[in-house]
Amino acid sequence: MSAISGKPPVARVAVTVPPAGWFHGISRAMYGIYREALVELGVEVFDVPVEALLPPDHGGLADLIDDLKAFRPELAFGLPLGSYALIARLGAQRDGWRPNLFTDIFDIPTICFWDHAPFELADQLLTPHPATPGESRAGALASLRRALAHPRLLHWSRDSGQTRLMRHFGLLPETPPIFATSPALGGAVDTAAAPSPAADVAFIGHFYQVPRARQHPALRALADQATAAWHRHGGALWDALEGAIAGLPPALRTELALDPDQTFFWAWVHRTIIHDSQTDVG
C-alpha cells in the first residue's frame, strides 16, 4: 500500500489489441471484454496494437516503444490469447531471432493464455509456413523453446492435456504454468434471447472454411488413419497422430519431414488437428 494514501498501488499492464478483422471480429470483441474487466479491477492499461508489429512498422514502432517506456509497464497480458503477445516481435537480428517486445525488450512478466497449445503457438511462431516437406526448415524445437520457455513468460493452461504436451516437447520454463479454466465472458452471449435448443447439441468456436490443400498421398493416408483411430478409441487426437507417425518407415518419416525439429511437422500437425480431423464427420 502507498504510505501516503493508504490505497494499494495501481498496477500498470500492457495488453495486446488484435486487428479488428481477425476471426471475423471475435478476437477484438473478446479483447474488449477482458480489457474492461481489468479496468474495473483498478488496473491502468496500455494498449499495444498487434498490427504495428506485423511486420514491424519501424517508424511507428519507435514511437510505441517510447510511449511504453513512459508508461513503465509492470506486466504484459496477451489479450485475448497469449499468442498475440508472443508474436509482438521486432525485426530480425543477425542470427535471425526476432526479440519479443515484452519479454526481451522490456523484460517484464508476460501472461500467455493458451489456445490449442503447443500447436497453435507453433503455428504463430514458426512462420512462414512450409507448404511441402521439401520446404521444411530444421531448428524448429530450438526456436520454440527460445520463445516459449522464456523465464519471463507466465503460461496459463486451461487443459491438462495441453500441459502434458508442452512438457513432452520441453516448451515450458521452470516456473510451473497457471492452471485455471477459461476466463468467463460475461455479457458475450445474450442467453435470454437465445432460442430453445432442439437437441442436446452445442457448438462454441469457429469453423475453418479453407479447403484442405493438396498433400502427399502418404500424408493424406496418415491423417485419415489417425482420425479413424481417434473416432474409434477417443482420447487426444495428438496421441493417435503420434502413433501413426511412429508407425511409418524411418525413411518415409524423414521424406515427409515429420520430425518435431522440422517446421513442416508443426504446420502439418496443426492443420490436420484444427482444420481437418476435428471437423471430420466420423
Q: Which of 155, 179, 203 is the last residue of a domain?
A: 179
Same domain for 29 and 142, yes or no, is yes
Q: How far apart are the first and last CA of the chain?
A: 58
Within the chain, strands assigned E span 12-17, 44-49, 75-77, 110-113, 153-157, 178-179
DSSP letter string, 231-276: HHH-S-HHHHHHHHHHTS-HHHHHHTT-STTBHHHHHHHHIIIIII
pLDDT of residue 212: 60
pLDDT of residue 2: 39
Q: Using CA atoms, how far apart are residues 142 and 10, in angstroms rounded to an integer?
A: 38
pLDDT of residue 1: 41
**1 belongs to a structural domain:** no
**264 belongs to a structural domain:** yes
- The tally of domains found in the chain comes to 2
34, 77, 166, 255 from 251: Cα distances, Å: 48, 43, 27, 6
Domain containing 102 equals: 12-179
83: domain CATH number is 3.40.50
Same domain for 32 and 132, yes or no, is yes
Each residue's pLDDT tens digit, 3-60: 444 555 669 999 999 999 998 899 999 999 999 999 999 999 999 999 988 876 666 7
Regions of the chain with pLDDT less than 70: 1-10, 56-59, 182-214, 279-282
Q: Which of 127, 160, 179 is the last residue of a domain?
A: 179
